[in-house]
Amino acid sequence: MNLKGRVAIVTGAASGIGRGIALALGRAGASVVCADIDPLGLTEVAAELHALGLRSLAVRTDVSKASEVTAMVEQVLRDFGTVDVLVNDAAYLGFSREHKPFLETDEAEWDLHINVTLKGTLHCCKAVVPSMVAQKRGRIINITSDAAKAMAPRGEALYSAVKSAVAAFSRTLAGELARHHVLVNCVAPGFIITPTVLKTRRPEWREKVEAMIPLRSAGDPEDIAGMVVFLASDEAKHITGQHYSVNGGTLML
């Protein structure tokens, strides 16, 4: 799949799934704009893209703040002239720190999930869509979760709530933008080995989860990135409003 000449923005690009997506889009030929709140991680990803001989830009961005998102997109349009692909991967992963039931959460935690995961996606779409509509072309790919499709594990009530909201928003946005040839789809990762997982989950827990996956192994960021590259490509020109799981068969619908 060839994305040469395309410009892609990836939020949450400093590590994990976002990093894998940014590198995969770059390898497919796209110019990649990496947005994240982690400046060190951004520098490292930008260096990797540069080493591949690719044009890239790293912009520290807090997606929960509309002003920062707007400034980032304006910079991209000035420097690159277009935005062809938007991948909303940035999310608040509060459950990765401590699994606790909903009744033990407070409003401050609710706000973190809503502001980063849901409003961050809304901010980015609102900033990017006008230019996509004007050029009659665009791809928006929102990273959700299988937690938006089925009952999530204990401690993920807030996470599943906002990911479900992103999925519902994506379907409606796909309907609104179809006549402008702006396609909107979701990719839902299953159990993916990322730096966060390695830091917060014991090996025996990971082994137990992998034993429940029909393919008997966890995925990696490249598995998610492959689906994203496909949805960003011309091969997916007749696909919109869909929600794809990449989970090794854990959830089959």
Nearest to 232 by CA among 142, 139, 131: 139
- Yes or no: say if 169 and 121 are a contact pair by the CB < 8 Å rule: yes
Residue 30's φ and ψ, nearest 5 degrees, are -80, 150
**113-151 per-position pLDDT tens digit:** 999 999 999 999 999 999 999 999 999 999 999 877 766
- Is 244 catalytic? The answer is no
DSSP state for residue 234 in the 8-state scheme: G
User: 96-102: long-range contacts at Cβ-Cβ below 8 A with a sequence spacing of 24 or more?
Assistant: 96/196, 96/197, 96/200, 97/200, 98/155, 99/153, 99/154, 99/155, 99/156, 100/155, 101/154, 101/155, 101/157, 102/157, 102/158
Dig out the tokens for 86 from the structure. Answer: 């938007």
Please, is 232 exposed, middle or buried when counting C-beta atoms within 10 Å of its C-beta (0-12, 13-18, 19+)?
Answer: buried
How high is the pLDDT of residue 253?
73
In the chain, what are the domains? 7-193+221-243 (3.40.50.720)
Q: pTM for the whole thing? A: 0.93
**17-72 per-position pLDDT tens digit:** 999 999 999 999 999 999 999 999 999 999 999 998 888 999 999 999 999 999 99
**161-220 per-position pLDDT tens digit:** 999 999 999 999 999 999 999 999 999 998 777 777 666 667 776 777 777 777 787 778
Angle at 68 (CA atoms; ends 18, 13), nearest 5 degrees = 10
* Residue 81 zone, left/alpha/beta (φ > 0; ψ -120 to 50; rest): left
CA 185, CA 236: separation in Å to the nearest integer? 10
Catalytic member of 159, 191, 192, 221? 159
